[in-house]
């Protein structure tokens, strides 16, 4: 049997991590930099982040969140204010100790101007933002306070993976202050909902909303709400988190307010964030053995037009026609954005250009040659179909149907991912079945649902013994939860266990 | 004579720097953080930056520039590749030397995990971006390459001033690579033009486009093109720069390409940037003794509606009407953005709310009470006029004229600043007159134009002796340039001398 031609040398089912790297390279999204752990986000990768930023930013603003900016550097003493917090980040932080360079006796440049107290490059900004909030919040009239910043954070990382695990991370971090516990927790949950909706309706990634177990909680949080996707290798990826902090950070940072009764009390805070890791999620959820597939609602460029230039006499006419289609499509919008069109007008053969568009993941391709112009019907290809699958449409049909075509692709991507997750989720109600599942030959590759009522110690034990962790305790619980498979006793919750990124 | 009531305690002409600080505080734009040299940009300040980003970003993209992202950290050896460059930044950089925290014997957290080679927090990214460009550029087909990043940079700064001089700076840095010197230089000049156009048509700040003298050039550049504004105290502020690097950074970083003849050669590069310093320029150009004035084309909120709630029975009706006006205005756009409206609906008196809107610099105020609704004519106030100046307009007139009203304000701000600059620019043609001008009692407060044909040494001498520097050699030169006032000989250029920020 002839082996099917694929653009990615290593198919997903042979070596998923290598396939992942290869797709990033073929789609020209990012690369490792010479600075250990840091990545370079290339224009095609950054365009995805820009679209994500734009959509999320407007959703945040609709909820009364305002953007601001806080310092990159955090004094060590701030970080120490919340005990769990500093412990959570101490092992992996970049520390600034000097403020200028000087030549030593051999003329070599060495750090000089030593700081009295070292500064930490922010791994997250609860403590430094708390410093400002303590000043800004005086009375219940100042609440709720809802602030977000788009910035970089640093967590020293020795085993970098592009988009998934890097020393420097681009993200947004929202921080809010509320007068009551209920309002704060509700807001953290509202943001979880916002994120999950974004993941499903823009990234086309079905997610499970749930709460993190004690072991996986943010250092210093009371509750960490997550939304988890299943990647094509069956592993879980946490796409982002929203934390309810209770009064922990308010007490650490002195965020107090006078309530309506004129009594001073500590406020309740939340924080929440998503990162460029979502780009990794896109690749691992939708990519195939031919490369990237960009979900249409997050694409900057929706359509690749491929001029087929085989007849010198007609090439100018073909290019004119391509420009005409491009102009028509660019004047239309899809999900509030002008439709993005690239004309691949270079001297490669049409087939090569088509493969290039496939690898880079344009949702739609239109190949246009002199004969297509004559017939008035253009071959339109969806990235979600086989390369040879084409639908022949007139320019007016393309114009009319473009939004539907893009929505179709979104739907296909979402349904495929949802089906994959469904097929790879199993429920077990005994430790024996759990052990069997974890040790089965198609593992990792499964989400395991099981009743769970254990402790932090039990979590450690499960991770050590079975190599899986609790990904979340889903918000949506079955009516009757089975007993805890680890401790036998009546389980309070159903949890999802899996390997994870 | 009764002293005129002003919102800012210290008038501009008494203490300009203190006035500046006070305006930032009253307009709630930013504050110093506890981290030395770093500032917190508050939501109202950040909103200005967001608008600037949006306008500039779309102008960059129109010119084929794509956004990307490069690492925060630069290995010391990279910085050393260009000799002038490292010298220019060595005296003021944040240096990361450790990667985790450990407890010492007393339980105190101290830096640990020492790096073999220290990392510099980027003061600018020519060298680290050059590392990528050297890989991306292979052939003339890859050129021009036009990349921009929006990010933070750090230059250690011991005398911080909000927006003007801070250790951490938010900016954009564009970096382009070209096949020829001419194309690169032309592009650097095109960006200077773009920036100057933005300053004049959005920030309402008249600027002089020119080239920096040798002393003021970017470390490593062949030419630094600037655009300079005159602040209300007569000092010059450099609003941004665009550098033509020749082959300096291409040689330092190995950015080579095969030209059309198949011969390898070094490329020509540019870099260019503007920062949140532009917000400082806005304040110092347009602010008055009552606070901030936000130029309408950069305002996120164009209109403050002030409900006058003096009659309990009619308050609900007044608020309804305010909401109706707000809704009408928000449905309209001004310079491509929805008109932003705040209703100051709180329990302060109307007069207090009006003062608050004045201090914060809303371009327009509309005060609405029950009587105004009855008469159908609303008092509309421009921030550029006296507080009591009001124009009475019906809702439909406001709707119809809103863009014109905002354009009027833009024009008034621009003309006022241009007139101020004109009145405070003098031409001298002798060293005697130069010295007199510099020592005159209204100095600083002048731009001095004079013929100049000196050297780097002469620049140092002028700065030392007269306390002024060459702000720029204007692109637009008079037909006949006077002799150099310092060296007598025929001057090649007319230069502008001034005190500067």
The whole-angstrom separation of Cα B21 and Cα B283 is 10
> Whose structure tokens read 């990012």?
A30
A317 — alpha (psi -120 to 50), left (phi > 0) or beta?
Answer: alpha
The SS3 assignment for B133 reads helix
**Is it the case that residue A3 has pLDDT exceeding 70?**
no
CB pair distance less than 8 Å for A41 and B92:
no
The pLDDT score that the predictor gives to residue B252 is: 93
Beta-carbon contacts of residue A462 (< 8 Å; ≥ 6 apart):
A454, A468, A469, A470, A486, A497
Long-range interactions of A427-432: CB distance < 8 A, separation 24+: A428/A485, A429/A482, A429/A483, A429/A485, A430/A485, A431/A485, A431/A486
- A386-to-A161, A381, A383, B438 alpha-carbon distances in Å: 30, 8, 7, 76
On the question of pLDDT at B379 being above 80, the answer is yes
End-to-end CA distance of chain A: 36
Question: In this model, does residue B387 exceed pLDDT 90?
Answer: no
Quick check: A4 pLDDT over 70? no
Q: Do B132 and A33 touch (CB under 8 A)?
A: yes
- CA pair distance B20, B292, nearest whole angstrom: 9
Q: How many CA atoms lie within 13 A of A291 on its CB side?
A: 22
Q: Which two structure tokens, joined as six digits, stand for A166?
A: 């890097």
The token pair that represents A251 in the structure block: 């007490």
- pLDDT tens for B199-255 read 999 999 999 999 999 989 998 999 999 999 999 999 999 999 999 999 999 999 999
- Give the C-alpha separation, B84 to B220, whole Å: 5
Residue A65 has pLDDT above 80, yes or no: yes
Question: What 3-state DSSP class applies to A369?
Answer: coil
Would you say residue B330 has pLDDT above 90?
Answer: yes
Using an 8 Å Cβ cutoff, are A42 and A30 in contact?
yes
Taking the CB of residue B125, how many other CB atoms lie within 10 A of it? 23
pLDDT of A164 strictly over 90: yes
Instruction: Give the integer Cα–Cα distance in Å for B394 and A130.
Output: 46
Min CA distance, A242 vs chain B (Å)?
22
Q: What share of chain B is helix, strand, coil (3-state, %, to 5)?
A: 35, 30, 35
Extract the tokens encoding A135. Answer: 């000043």
Query: String of b and e for A110-149 (b: at least 16 CB within 10 Å)?
Result: ebebebeebbbbbbbbbbbbbbbbbebbeebeebbbbbbb
Residue that is written with structure tokens 């060293």 in the block? B431
Shortest CA distance from B71: residue in chain A: A38
Minimal C-alpha gap between A464 and chain B (Å): 25
Taking the CA of residue A331 and the nearest CA in chain B, the distance in Å comes to 16
The rounded distance, in Å, linking the Cα atoms of A203 and A195 is 10
Which residue shows structure tokens 């949802």? A418
Tell if the CB–CB gap between A91 and B76 is shorter than 8 Å.
no
CB B319 within 8 A of CB B370: no
User: What number of CA atoms fall less than 13 Å from residue B320's CA on the CB side?
Assistant: 7
Cβ distance of B35 and A119 shorter than 8 Å: yes
Closest in A76, A99, A135 to B109, CB measured:
A76
Q: How far is CA A239 from the centre of its chain?
A: 5
Q: Per the CB < 8 Å rule, is B35 touching A71?
A: yes
Report the chain B residue with the minimal C-alpha distance to residue A166: B71
Contact B385, B364 (CB under 8 A): no
pLDDT at B86: 85
Query: What distance, in Å, lies between the first and last C-alpha atoms of chain B?
Result: 36
- The pLDDT tens digits of the residues spanning A175-209 come to 999 999 999 999 999 999 999 999 999 999 999 99
Q: What are phi and psi of A275, to 5 degrees?
A: -130, 180
B82 neighbors B126 (Cβ within 8 angstroms): yes
Note whether B39 contacts A71, CB cutoff 8 Å: yes
Q: CA of B91, closest CA in chain A: separation in Å? A: 5
pLDDT of residue B225: 98
Taking only the tens place, the pLDDT of each residue in A392-414 is 999 999 999 999 999 999 999 99
pLDDT at A487 over 90: no
Shortest CA distance to B128 belongs to which of B86, B70, B77, B170?
B70
A67, A98, A132: residue with CB nearest B46: A67
Percent of chain B past pLDDT 90, that is, above it, reads 86
Of A40, A66, A96, the CB nearest to B43: A66
What are the chain B neighbours of A34 within 8 Å (beta carbons)? 75, 78, 131
As beta bridge partners, residue A365 has A304, A381
Closest CA in chain A for residue B29: A68
Decide if pLDDT at A210 tops 80.
yes
Task: Supply the DSSP symbol for A232.
Answer: T
- Which pLDDT belongs to residue B491? 77
Instruction: Give the tens place of pLDDT for each residue, B149-203.
Output: 999 999 998 789 999 999 999 999 999 999 999 999 999 999 999 999 999 999 9
Q: What is the C-alpha to C-alpha distance for residues A179 and A250, in angstroms, rounded to an integer?
A: 11
Q: Report whether pLDDT(B289) > 60.
A: yes
d(CA B454, CA B463): 13
Residue B429 corresponds to which tokens in the numbers above?
Answer: 């043609």
Give the pLDDT of residue A229.
98
Which residues of chain A lie closer than 8 angstroms to B95, CB-CB?
A: 96-101, 111
**Of A46, A95, A135, which has the smallest distance from its Cβ to B97's Cβ?**
A95
- Residue B362 to residue B28: CA distance in whole angstroms: 13
Q: Counting one residue from A and one from B, how many pairs have CB atoms under 8 Å apart?
A: 180
Q: What is the mean pLDDT of residues A147-170?
A: 94
The mean pLDDT value for B109-118 works out to 94
Scored b (16 or more CB within 10 A) or e, A191-208 reads: bbebbbebbbebbbbbbb
- Which of B36, B81, B96, B142 has the highest number of chain A CBs within 10 A, making it the mutation to test binding with A? B96
Residue B330, helix vs strand vs coil: helix
Residues β-bridged to residue A338: A333
Instruction: Give the best residue of A51, A83, A96 to mutate against chain B (max B CB count within 10 A).
Output: A96
What's the gap in Å between the CA of B129 and the closest CA on chain A? 9
CA pair distance A430, A451, nearest whole angstrom = 9
Contact residues, chain B, for A46 at CB < 8 Å: 66-69
In this structure, the number of other CB atoms found within 10 A of the CB of residue A257 comes to: 21
pLDDT at position A1: 47
Task: Kindly report the nearest CA distance between residue A440 and chain B, in angstroms.
Answer: 39
This prediction's pTM = 0.96
Residues of A in Cβ contact (< 8 Å) with B156: 99-100, 113
> What does the alpha-carbon distance between residue A126 and residue A149 come to, in Å, rounded to a whole number?
12
Q: Where are the alpha helices (DSSP H) in A63-155?
A: 76-79, 83-89, 126-136
Q: Do A68 and B41 touch (CB under 8 A)?
A: yes
Out of A38, A68, A168, name the one closest to residue B46 (CB). Answer: A68
Chain B CB contacts of A118 under 8 Å are 98, 111
Structure tokens at A34: 């010479």
> Do residue A38 and residue B67 have CB atoms under 8 angstroms apart?
no
Q: What percent of chain B shows pLDDT beyond 70?
A: 99
* Phi and psi angles of residue A269, each rounded to the nearest 5 degrees, phi first: -125, 160
Instruction: Check whether A82 has a pLDDT greater than 90.
Output: no
DSSP string for residues in A429-469? -SHHHHHHHHHSTT-SS-EEEEEE---HHHHHHHHHHHS-E
pLDDT value of residue B493: 93
Q: What is the largest CA-CA distance in chain A?
A: 84
Are A42 and A28 spatial neighbours (Cβ–Cβ below 8 Å)? yes
Gap from B362 CA to chain A (nearest CA, Å): 18
Is residue B176 within 8 Å of residue B145, measured between CB atoms?
yes
Q: Is the pLDDT of residue A158 over 80?
A: no
Give the closest-approach CA distance of A466 to chain B in angstroms. 30
Task: Name the residue with higher pLDDT: B336 or B151.
Answer: B151
Structure confidence at residue A208 (pLDDT): 98
Mutate to test the interface with A, among B68, B140, B157 (most CBs of A within 10 A): B68
- Out of A46, A67, A90, the one facing B69 most closely (by C-beta) is A46
pLDDT class for B272, splitting at 50, 70, 90? very high
Omega of the bond leading into B444 within 30 degrees of 0 (cis): yes
So what's the pLDDT on residue B134? Answer: 97
Asked whether the predicted pLDDT for residue A43 surpasses 50, the reply is yes
For chain B, how big is the Rg over CA atoms in Å?
A: 26
Residue B258, pLDDT > 70, answer yes
A142 to chain B, minimum CA–CA distance in Å? 12
Q: Give the one of A34, A100, A118 whose C-beta lies nearest to B92's C-beta.
A: A100
Give buried/exposed letters for B321-339 (b at 16+ CB in 10 A, else e): bbeebbebbeeeebbeeeb
Res. B127: pLDDT tops 90: yes
């Amino acid at each position: 049997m002839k082996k099917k031609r694929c653009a990615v040398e290593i198919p997903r089912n042979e070596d998923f991590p290598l396939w992942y790297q290869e797709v990033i390279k073929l789609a020209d999204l990012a690369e490792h930099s010479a600075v250990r752990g840091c990545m370079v986000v290339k224009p095609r990768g950054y365009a995805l982040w820009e679209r994500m930023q734009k959509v999320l930013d407007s959703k945040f603003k609709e909820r009364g969140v305002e953007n601001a900016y806080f310092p990159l550097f955090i004094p060590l003493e701030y970080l120490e204010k919340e005990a769990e917090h500093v412990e959570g980040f101490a092992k992996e932080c970049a520390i600034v100790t000097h403020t200028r360079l000087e030549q030593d006796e051999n003329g070599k440049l060495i750090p000089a101007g030593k700081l009295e107290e070292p500064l930490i490059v922010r791994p997250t900004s609860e403590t430094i933002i708390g410093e400002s909030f303590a000043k800004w919040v005086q009375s219940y009239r100042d609440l709720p306070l809802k602030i977000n910043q788009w910035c970089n954070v640093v967590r020293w990382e020795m085993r970098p993976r592009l988009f998934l695990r890097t020393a420097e991370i681009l993200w947004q971090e929202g921080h809010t202050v509320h007068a009551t516990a209920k309002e704060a927790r509700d807001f953290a949950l509202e943001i979880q909902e916002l994120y999950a909706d974004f993941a499903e309706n823009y990234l086309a990634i079905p997610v499970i909303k749930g709460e993190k177990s004690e072991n996986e909680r943010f250092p210093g949080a009371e509750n960490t709400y997550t939304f988890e996707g299943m990647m094509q290798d069956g592993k879980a990826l946490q796409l982002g988190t929203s934390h309810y902090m209770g009064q922990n950070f308010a007490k650490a940072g002195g965020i107090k307010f006078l309530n309506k009764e004129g009594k001073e009390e500590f406020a309740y805070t939340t924080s929440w964030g998503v990162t460029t890791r979502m780009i990794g999620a896109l690749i691992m959820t939708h990519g195939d053995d031919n490369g990237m597939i960009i979900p249409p609602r997050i694409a900057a460029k929706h359509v690749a037009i491929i001029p087929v230039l085989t007849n010198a006499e007609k090439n100018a006419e073909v290019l004119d026609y391509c420009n005409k289609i491009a102009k028509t499509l660019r004047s239309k919008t899809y999900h509030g954005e002008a439709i993005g069109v690239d004309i691949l007008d270079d001297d490669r053969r049409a087939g090569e250009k088509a493969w290039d568009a496939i690898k880079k993941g344009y949702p739609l391709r239109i190949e246009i040659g002199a004969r297509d112009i004559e017939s008035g019907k253009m071959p339109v290809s969806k990235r979600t179909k086989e390369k040879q699958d084409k639908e022949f449409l007139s320019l007016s049909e393309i114009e009319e149907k473009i939004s539907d075509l893009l929505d179709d692709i979104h739907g296909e991507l979402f349904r495929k991912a949802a089906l994959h997750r469904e097929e790879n989720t199993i429920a077990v109600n005994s430790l024996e079945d759990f052990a069997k599942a974890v040790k089965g030959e198609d593992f990792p590759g499964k989400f395991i649902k099981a009743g769970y009522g254990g402790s932090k110690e039990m979590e450690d034990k499960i991770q050590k013994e079975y190599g899986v962790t609790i990904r979340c305790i889903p918000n949506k619980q079955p009516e009757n939860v089975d007993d805890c498979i680890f401790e036998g006793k009546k389980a309070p919750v159903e949890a999802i266990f899996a390997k994870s990124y």
